[in-house]
Amino acid sequence: MIREAAPAKVNLFLHITGRRPDGYHLLDSLVVFAGIEDTVTVAAAPGFALSMDGPEAPALSAEADNLVLRAARGLADAAGGGLAAALHLKKNLPVASGIGGGSADAAATLRALTTLWGVGPEIARRVAPALGADVPACLVTRPLRMSGIGEVTQPAPALPDFGLVLANPRVPIATPAIFRAVKGHFSGPAALPEGWANAASMAADLARLTNDLEAPAIETCPAIAQVLAALASLPGALLARMSGSGATCFAIMPDAASAERAASLLPPSWWRWGGGLAAPPAAPL
């Protein structure tokens, strides 16, 4: 039995830099992974089967074929077929929330199954883009710069210690609808330094950038504006912004301890979490 963490993906900024002729948008984003996660467990079995539990699992109960199964079958096919596994997903991250929960689950499945089946990591990297724009980044599961349509990843600038508060108003957001609502000019790629000495200087630089999906997401879900206002008012908050296509938003805090304390001040009806970044995997794909 092999267990892999699927941590929440957070876009510290997200610029839409263009659109390809096939309609896919080009991105530029600084991505980190928070210390709150789903967990995928795999074991040898004669056929594919998926079980789920965790506080957010009921939201997936109506899906006949979610990304965990799609990732497992895609990897098996790419490896030549004849492979199977029993899979279990512990779901702690809200569904359709802009923090890559499904993509992180798919990536964790690929990482676990490459070990279980002895499949070369290059096969998982080849399968990942077809599963979603965030899956290649979630395979890496460490701070990175993401571009292209999500398939191009590069190391992030050197990051200081900092904390994150995540909050979601319990409203699912359909990512394709938000991208379709993007209007007007495209942003240029961000100019980032080689690193930041502290959380305050990082937040000040990031404040000059944007999440270009924030405005159309607020039009779709006005509650996002309330979440952003609540995060910005937290004691010690350095920056509040939406992640991905929403509706989860984040606040950058000076450290993990202050983030954990601040999260408890948010409405208990929201999904909320505070802490530090996820520990990077020993051997990312």
- Percent of the chain beyond pLDDT 90? 88
User: What local confidence, expressed as pLDDT, does residue 262 receive?
Assistant: 98
285 falls in which pLDDT band (50, 70, 90)?
Answer: low
Catalytic-role residue among 9, 28, 91, 212: 9
Termini Cα distance of the chain: 19
Clarify whether 9 is annotated catalytic.
yes
Q: What's the whole-number mean pLDDT along residues 253-268? A: 98
What are the chain's domains? 2-153 (3.30.230.10), 157-275 (3.30.70.890)
Q: What are phi and psi of 210, to 5 degrees?
A: -145, 170
Q: How many residues does the chain have?
A: 285
Is it the case that residue 64 has pLDDT exceeding 80?
Answer: no
| Cα–Cα distance, 194 to 192 (Å, whole number) | 7
User: What local confidence, expressed as pLDDT, does residue 130 receive?
Assistant: 94
Clarify whether 22 is annotated catalytic.
no
Is it the case that residue 155 has pLDDT exceeding 70?
Answer: yes
Is it the case that residue 14 has pLDDT exceeding 70?
Answer: yes
Task: Provide the pairing of β-strand 85-90 with 49-53.
Answer: parallel
Catalytic-role residue among 105, 134, 205, 212: 134
User: What local confidence, expressed as pLDDT, does residue 247 receive?
Assistant: 96
Peptide bond into 247 cis (omega under 30): yes
CA distances from 43 to 49, 105, 125, 141, 170 (A): 10, 16, 21, 22, 33
Contacts of 218 (CB under 8 A, 6+ apart): 224, 225, 246
**pTM across the whole model:** 0.95
CA distances from 66 to 31, 49, 219 (A): 24, 12, 28
Is it the case that residue 62 has pLDDT exceeding 60?
Answer: no
183 falls in which pLDDT band (50, 70, 90)?
Answer: confident
User: What local confidence, expressed as pLDDT, does residue 60 receive?
Assistant: 85
Is it the case that residue 59 has pLDDT exceeding 90?
Answer: no
| Cα–Cα distance, 11 to 178 (Å, whole number) | 15
